[in-house]
Amino acid sequence: MLKLGVNIDHVATIREARYHGKPAGEPDPIEAALICEGAGAHGITVHLREDRRHIQDRDAAKLREAIKTRLNLEMASAPEIVAIALKLKPDIVCLVPERRQELTTEGGLDVAGQKTALTETRKSMNGAGIEVSLFIDPEAQQVEASAAVGAQFIELHTGAFAERFHDEAGRRLEIARLVTASRQAHQLGLKVNAGHGLNYRNVPALSAVPHLVELNIGHSIVSRAIVVGLGQAVREMLQLLQRFP
């Protein structure tokens, strides 16, 4: 079955809007993670950004202690964050590009242009027993470079697919790109996750993409939770994933 990783960054975003700089506040991302687990989520994803705009160091540490499912730490390949990850020991890290001005991650990592540095980070993580995923656009050059770096996973950036979903021709083109990239990755021995901009309307179309292991979804689930509650929002997404071959 296709797995669901729930990104709880936006729970922390809501908290930080009122309690930024405080040692505690609501809503509590740890409580949210446990609700997601109880509803059947296969993993919890958080992005510990260099600017700490949502998830804080204390959140990551508490999550490592509290959750029983897979902890996926999204992070830049920056010395400070690498050191934290090596101490935290999440099950997997997903290396992403990071720019201070962006609202959220806007594109894939340029693995082809950073192979040496990313290989060193990958070796450090693997040496600590942590799997490595690289967040990339569905481009042949980036898939090939990800294999050369030695990553265990890639996470295909589905932002362009999400943006063009309501344009039939654009949707078909983006799905074809994802299919091609996923097949190439599989042939190179990489496992394939996907995420960014996914929601209850567009997720079913990804059933055309082979070899997917996990979808990482955050904003849509947290948004739906305002109406139906977090546990129900997770269960509704899991019901969609059960339809995948």
Residues 206-225 as b/e (b if ≥16 CB within 10 A, e otherwise) read beebeebebbbbbbbbbebb
Instruction: Give me the phi and psi of 156, to 5 degrees please.
Output: -75, 130
Cis peptide preceding 27, ω within 30 of 0: yes
Separation CA 69–CA 100 (nearest Å) = 30
Catalytic residue, from 10, 42, 157, 196: name it: 196
Separation CA 218–CA 12 (nearest Å) = 11
- Confidence at residue 101, expressed as pLDDT on a 0 to 100 scale: 55
How far from the centroid of its chain's Cα atoms is residue 30's Cα?
A: 17
Q: Give me the half-sphere count of Cα atoms (radius 13 Å) on the Cβ side of residue 223.
A: 8
- Confidence at residue 106, expressed as pLDDT on a 0 to 100 scale: 67
Query: Is 196 among the catalytic positions?
Result: yes
- Confidence at residue 80, expressed as pLDDT on a 0 to 100 scale: 97
- Confidence at residue 245, expressed as pLDDT on a 0 to 100 scale: 83
Catalytic residue, from 10, 37, 42, 47: name it: 47
Is 78:124 a contact under the CB 8 Å cutoff?
no
- Quick one: 191 exposed, middle or buried, by C-beta within 10 A (0-12, 13-18, 19+)? middle
- Confidence at residue 98, expressed as pLDDT on a 0 to 100 scale: 81
Tell if the pTM clears 0.75, that is, is over it.
yes
Catalytic residue, from 37, 74, 98, 139: name it: 74
Q: CA quadruple 126, 128, 129, 135: dihedral positive or negative?
A: negative
3-241 under CATH 3.20.20.70, yes or no: yes
pLDDT in tens, the chain (245 residues): 899 999 999 999 999 999 999 999 999 999 999 999 999 999 999 999 999 999 999 999 999 999 999 999 999 999 999 999 999 999 999 999 986 554 555 689 999 999 999 999 999 999 999 999 999 999 999 999 999 999 999 999 999 999 999 999 999 999 999 999 999 999 999 999 999 999 999 999 999 999 999 999 999 999 999 999 999 999 999 999 998 98
CA distances from 192 to 189, 207, 220 (A): 10, 13, 21
Query: Is 219 among the catalytic positions?
Result: no
- Domain range annotation of the chain: 3-241
Is 245:233 a contact under the CB 8 Å cutoff?
no
Read off the tokens for 224.
């739906």
- 201: which residues sit within 8 A by CB, 6+ positions away? 165
Is 60:46 a contact under the CB 8 Å cutoff?
yes
